[in-house]
Amino acid sequence: MTTIHLIRHGQTNWNLEKRIQGQTESELTELGRQQARDVALALKDVNFDKAYSSSSVRAHDTAKHILEHHDLELSLDDQLREIFLGPWEGNLYDEMKVTHPEEHQHFWEDPSKFNLSGAESFYDTQTRAIDALEAIIEKEKGKTILIVSHGVWIKLLLAKIEERHLQDLWLPPQMTNCCHSIITHDQSNDYTLQN
């Protein structure tokens, strides 16, 4: 049995501003750093065998805080990065609601229809997430793994595991900063969401 702890990065300055991050860099706020330290305390007794993080600064900064009680090397992986939103990145969501009303509506109400020129689709991001997870599991079979990534990336992964349609992606539970999900993968190649 392989156990994977999935954690979203802590709060960033752009989260506060409701600014679209995607794969553009933003920084953890003091609250974001505290959220990561809180996770570190909660997980200090978990015996992680391996730790992976998105190569985005906000993710690997979160991971470093989480690993402060562990003597473990952190591996950065570009495939764990957030959905790429191209021309939207750095802009406010409210601005995109005005300039791209149809795409904005699809993003929040039916991600399966989201199609923005120069951006990644939810389907493509989900495929990337599943491929990345499977590659990690293949290397780390039977181990306990930490993965720090992003809200959409994790949501898409869990939707695939739970066999939920993309139009239901944003249904609860909400993907809050530093939220923690645990999945297991067994020898039958089955995934189970633990929480």
Residue 88 CA to residue 100 CA, distance in Å, equals 9
The DSSP symbol for 71 reads -
User: Is 30 a residue of the active site?
Assistant: no
- How many angstroms separate the most distant Cα atoms in the chain? 49
Catalytic residue among 5, 60, 82, 120: 82
User: Is 25 a residue of the active site?
Assistant: no
**Cβ proximity of 5 and 46 under 8 Å:** yes
Which residue matches tokens 């992976």?
Answer: 52
From the list 36, 89, 33, 45, the residue with the least C-alpha distance to 66 is 36
Catalytic residue among 5, 9, 106, 185: 9
Tell me the catalytic residues.
9, 82
